[in-house]
């Protein structure tokens, strides 16, 4: 249970300005506490329970489940996404609070996987949502999923896990891509923008 491991200490020594230390510390807290949204989108949902339960116990790394998108930090998209699911996933993702991360599991979100010729699944997830970490496998074993979480932690510590910012900045691009499959049955703009009258955060 060495939370501040050697790597962290070495990084801390290199920091010069106080602001950098604050940033570093904020990222450290973010990486040590990851609330995972329980949304089983595909086959990979079957390897999530072993990852979070007694055998592999992801809670050792501060990964725990969250019930609602409002409380969650990371959404794990476990496998293929049917068009109908993608719509809900986008909605869910937009309801999450920044900073928020996406982990994609398995072949299917990368290039369609074995469902590459299916008329109802999407082929490239990163066209529709900003993906932070992708884990290979069909399905990835719990060890690989844990490695995925560790890669995400590294990314957060480096301060590069800014998928949400990317999504906001390139909202046009993402929405156009989404429009390609949803047609005129698109979701309204960024969920927060229309859902809250007082403009979301302050």
Partner 1 sequence: MAQDIITIFHGPQHPGITGNMSVELDLLGETIKRAETHVGYLHRGFEKMIERRTVLQAFTIVCRICVPEPDPNEENFARGVEELMGLEVPEKAKWLRTMVLEMARLQAQMLWFAGQGGSLGHYISPQWAVADRDLILDLFEELTGGRVYHMYITPGGVRRDLPEGFLGRLGHFLDYLESRLPEYDNMLLRNPVFLERARGVGIIDPATAREYGVVGPNLRACGFMNDIRKDEPYEMYGEVDFIVPTETSGDVYGRAMVRRAEIEQSISILRQIIRRMPAEKEIMAVLPKNHRKWEVPKGDTLVKTESARGEYSYYMVGDGTDKLRRVQVKGPSAVHAITLLEEMLVDSQLSDVAMIMNSLGTNPPEIER
Partner 2 sequence: MLFTIFNSLLAVLLTYSMGMLYYGFYRIGNARIHRRVGPPLWQNVIDNIKLFAKREAPGHGIMFHLGPVIMTAGTITSMLFVPFLKDSAWLQGFSSYGNLILLIYLMVVGPLGNALAVGVSGVPFGVMGVTRGLTRLIGLEVPFFLSVALLMSGSGTISISEIMMAQDSFSNWNMMAHPAAFIVSLFSFVGMMGASPFDVVGAPVEVYSGPQAEFGGKYLGFLAAQRVMFSMVKLILWVDLFLGGATNVFILMAKSFALFFFYFIVGAAFPRFKTEQAVDFMLKLPLIIGIGAVLVRFWSL
Partner 3 sequence: MTETIDNLLERIGRNFQITGQEVKKAGLAALHCSQEQLHGVLIYLKEVEKFDTLTMIGCADWIEDDYFELSYMAYSFTTFFTVMVKIRVSRDGSSVPTVEGIWRQARTFEREIHEMFGVDFPGNTRLKEFFLENWQGMPPMKRDFDTVQFVKDHYKLREEGREGACNVSVERKKRIDAKKLELKKEGE
Q: CB 23 → partner 2: shortest distance, Å?
A: 11
Contact call for residues 86 and 48 (beta carbons, < 8 A): no
DSSP-derived 3-state class of residue 159:
coil
Residues 153-182 that bind partner 3 (CB under 8 A): 180-182
Among the listed residues 170, 167, 163, 86, the one whose alpha carbon sits nearest the alpha carbon of residue 123 = 86
Contact call for residues 121 and 83 (beta carbons, < 8 A): yes
| 70 scored as a contact of partner 2 (CB under 8 A) | yes
Residue 200 binding partner per list partner 3, partner 1, partner 2, none, with a CB distance cut-off of 5 to 8 Å that depends on partner kind: partner 2
String of contacts with partner 2 for each residue 160-189, x by CB under 8 A: ------------------------------
Among the listed residues 163, 182, 171, the one whose alpha carbon sits nearest the alpha carbon of residue 81 = 182
d(CA 29, CA 177): 34
Q: Please identify which residue in 119, 197, 198, 199 interacts with partner 3, judged by CB under 8 A.
A: 119
Residue 176 binding partner per list partner 3, partner 2, partner 1, none, with a CB distance cut-off of 5 to 8 Å that depends on partner kind: none
Decide: residue 136, CB within 10 A, 0-12 exposed, 13-18 middle, 19+ buried: exposed
| 7 scored as a contact of partner 2 (CB under 8 A) | no
Q: CB 81 → partner 3: shortest distance, Å?
A: 11
Interface residue list for partner 3 (CB under 8 A) = 83-84, 87, 110-112, 116-120, 122-124, 127, 180-183, 185
């Amino acid at each position: 249970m060495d939370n501040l491991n050697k790597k962290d200490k070495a990084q801390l020594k290199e920091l010069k300005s106080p602001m950098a230390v604050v940033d570093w510390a904020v990222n450290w807290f973010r990486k040590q506490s990851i609330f995972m949204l329980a949304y089983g989108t595909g086959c990979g949902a079957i390897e999530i329970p072993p990852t979070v339960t007694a055998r592999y116990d992801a809670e050792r790394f501060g990964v725990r489940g969250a019930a609602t998108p409002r409380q969650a930090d990371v959404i794990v998209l476990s496998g293929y996404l049917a068009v109908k699911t993608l719509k809900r996933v986008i909605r869910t993702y937009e309801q999450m609070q920044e900073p928020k991360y996406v982990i994609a599991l398995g072949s299917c979100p990368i290039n369609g996987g074995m469902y590459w010729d299916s008329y109802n699944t999407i082929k490239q997830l990163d066209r529709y949502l900003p993906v932070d970490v992708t884990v290979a496998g069909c399905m990835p074993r719990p060890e690989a999923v844990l490695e995925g979480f560790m890669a995400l932690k590294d990314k957060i510590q480096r301060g590069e896990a800014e998928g949400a910012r990317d999504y906001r900045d390139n909202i046009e691009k993402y929405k156009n891509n989404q429009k390609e499959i949803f047609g005129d049955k698109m979701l309204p703009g960024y969920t927060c923008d229309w859902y809250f009258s007082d403009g979301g955060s302050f």
